[in-house]
A and B are shown apart, each in its own frame.
Chain A
Amino acid sequence: MRRAFVWLGLAMLGLAALPTAPAAADLEKVRVSIIPIGDVAPLFAAVQNGYFREVGLEIDTTPSAGGAAGIPGLVGGSFDIAYGNVVSALLAAQQGLDVKVIAAGTNVTDPKLDATGIFAKSDSGIKSGKDLEGKSIAVNTRNNVIWLYARAWVKATGGDPERVTFKEVPFPQMEDAVRQQRVDAAFMVPPFSIVAAQKGGLGKVGMPYSDVQPGVDVGQYVTTGKLLATKPDTAKKFVAALRKGVEWYNANLTNEALLTLISGYTKADVALLKLAPVPTAPSRTDISQVRKTMELMIESKLLPAPLDLDKIVDPLAR
C-alpha cells in the first residue's frame, strides 16, 4: 500500500514535468479577461464562428474565478481587455485608473427575461425592502453592481438600506444560506436563481434590475486608454467582431447550439441551462443608463462626485 502511494506520487511528479501548450502565430493576440457566465456568450460565439479570425485577431480568454484579477490585471498589463460590471469600471475610473469602456456586455431590458432576483423563504413573510429592515441580504461582494441594486431595491420598496445588513456570500452558497436562515434574503443570479426557484421553499420577492432601472447596463468590456491610443485598430476590430457575435447570439436565443456553447465554457449542464430564459445581448452601451447607475452610486456614497462619462465610455461603445 505504501509502495503504491510512492509510485503514484512519483507519477504525479512526472506529470508536473509535462510541457505547456505552444502559442499560435500570425494573428494578433488579444488577451481578454472574462468571468465564465452567460454574459460573455456573444464573445465565445464570435470566437467559435471565426469572426475574430476574419479580422486578424486571436482572442485568448482567461477566466477569472473572482473579480480580483480582472481590472487589476488589466491595469497591470496582463490583459488587453477585461469584462466587468459597470460599478467596478466607474470605481476604477474614479480612482484615477486609465479604464475605458469599449463595448457593451450585458443589460436587462425585458422583465420577462430577467432571471435574477431577491429570494427569501416563502414562509418568512418578507415581501418588500421595508420587511428587510433589521434583517440581512446576501450579496456576492459589497460595493459592486449586485450590492448597489439590492440597496436601490430596498429603498424603492419602502425600506431604509442603512438599516439592512448586507452579508457577503458567494453565489453558489446563497441558496443554502437562505434555507438555513444564515441570511434572510439573497440577490441571486442565474443559474443559481433558477435552481433555487425549482426546489421550492424559496420565493422571488423582487427583481432589483427590472424594478429599479429597466434597461440597466450591467456589464461592459473595458480596456486601458493606453491600448486605445497605441492600438486603435485592434480595438475597432475587436468591437466589430464582437458585435457580429452579439447578432448571432440574439438570432439564436432558443437554439440548442447556443446552450452547448455556454455549457462548454461554464461546465454547467445543458439541462440546467435550458431552465433559464436566455436574455438578449446589447450591441451598444447606453450612456444614459450608465449615468443613472452613477447617480445611484453617488447616492450610496460609493462615488464622491459625478464623473465625466464621455471620457470613460469610448465612442466605440456607443
Chain B
Amino acid sequence: MDGLEGLRNDRSSRRADPNDRRAYGFLLLAVLLLFWEVSSRAGWIVSAYWPPVSHIFAAAIAQLAGGEILLSLASTLRRAAIGYVAASVAGIVLGIVLARNRALRYALLPLIEIVRPMPTPAVIPPLILLLGVDDALKIFIVAMASFFPIFSNTFAGVATIDDTLIQTARTFRTPTVRLLARVVFPATMPAIAAGLRTATSLCLVVAVLSEMIAGSSGIGYYLVETQYAMRPDLMYAAVLYLAATGYALNRIFLALEARLVPWMGRS
C-alpha cells in the first residue's frame, strides 16, 4: 500500500474507453426507435399521431431544406438566451448579496420562496395583461423560471464557502466590494456553474412552453401548429431538433465550465 495505488487504479480504468459506455446509450435509443417503427408499421398502435420513425426522419431532412424550422429554432433560442442572461445576472447578484447581508435576506427571501412554486402556465394569463403577447412576455417567463435554480445554487454556494478564505481576506483588511469580487465570487463559481447548467435546459423548455400557450412563432408554436394541421411527422421532427439543441447546449456548457472553472469539483 503506497500512495501511488490510486494512480495505478486510475490508469487501468482509463483503458476502458469512455466512448464505449456512451455507445450503450445510443444503442438503447436505436432499439427504442426500431420498436417505434415496427409498432407503427405493423399496426400495433393505430393513431394519426403515431407515424413511423422513418417518416419523421424524412420530414426532419425536408424541414432543413425548407429552412423554416431553423428560423423557428432561432427565434426560440433568441428569447431563451435573453431570458437566461437576465436571470443569470439577477440570480447571481441576488444570491451573493442575500447570502452576505442579513437585512436584505430577511426582506426578500420570503417573497422569492412564495413566487418559486408558481407553475408557469398558471402565471401566463395574468402576465398577458401586463406584458402583452409578444417577446416581452416570453422572455419574462423564461427569466422567471431560470432565476430560481441560479439564485438557490448561488445562495447555497456563498453560504458554504470555507470560512478560512473569508478570514484570510479579513486579515488583509480587504474592503467589502473587493472581498465579494475577488474571494466570494470565485469560490462560489462551482455552485453558480451548477445553477447555470440547470437553468440552461430549463430556459429552453420554458421558452417552448410559453410559445405553446401564448405564442405565434418559435418551436413551441410550430409544435401546436403542426399538431392542428395533422402533420405529426413534422411535429416529431421538430421535437428531434429541440432535443438535439438541448443536448448540444448542455455539452457547450460543460466544455465552457471545464475551461473557465477548472477548480470545479475540488474544494
Chain A interface residues (CB < 8 Å from chain B): 1-2, 5-6, 8-10, 12-13, 15-18, 20, 33, 36-37, 62-66, 68-69, 72-73, 75-79, 170-173, 175-176, 179, 191-192, 195, 266-269, 272
Contacts and interface: CB of A to CB of B under 8 A. Distances in A.
Interface string B33-69: 0000000000000111100000000000000000000
A175 B46 CA distance: 11
A68 to B, nearest CB: 6
B252 A9 contact: yes
A76 B227 CA distance: 28
A259 B185 CA distance: 61
A63 B225 CA distance: 9
A52 to B, nearest CB: 19
Interface string B246-263: 011101100100000000
B230 A195 contact: yes
B91 interface: no
B216 A64 contact: yes
B229 A68 contact: no
Contact of B248 (A9, A79, A171, A267): A9
A253 B227 CA distance: 25
B133 interface: yes
Most buried by B among A8, A33, A175, A272: A8
B48 A18 contact: no
A76 B129 contact: yes
Nearest to A63: B216
B83 to A, nearest CB: 12
Interface in B213-267: 213-216, 221, 224-231, 234, 244-245, 247-249, 251-252, 255
Contact of B74 (A15, A191, A272): A15
A284 B163 CA distance: 76
Most buried by B among A15, A33, A176, A191: A15
B255 to A, nearest CB: 6
A75 to B, nearest CB: 7
A5 B251 contact: yes
A96 to B, nearest CB: 14
Contacts of A268: 228-231
A76 B225 contact: no
B72 to A, nearest CB: 10
B256 to A, nearest CB: 10
Given A6-B255, A36-B228, A195-B48, A12 B125 contact: no
Given A5-B248, A8-B244, A77-B132, A16 B78 contact: yes
A9 B249 contact: yes
Interface in B180-217: 211-216
Given A2-B251, A17-B78, A267 B216 contact: no
A10 B252 contact: yes
Given A15-B70, A63-B221, A69-B128, A78 B213 contact: no
Given A69-B214, A72-B128, A9 B251 contact: yes
Contact of A172 (B46, B129, B211, B228): B228
A16 B134 CA distance: 17
Contact of A65 (B74, B215, B248, B255): B215
B251 A13 contact: no
Nearest to B80: A16
Most buried by A among B132, B133, B225: B133
Contact of A72 (B125, B212, B230, B252): B125
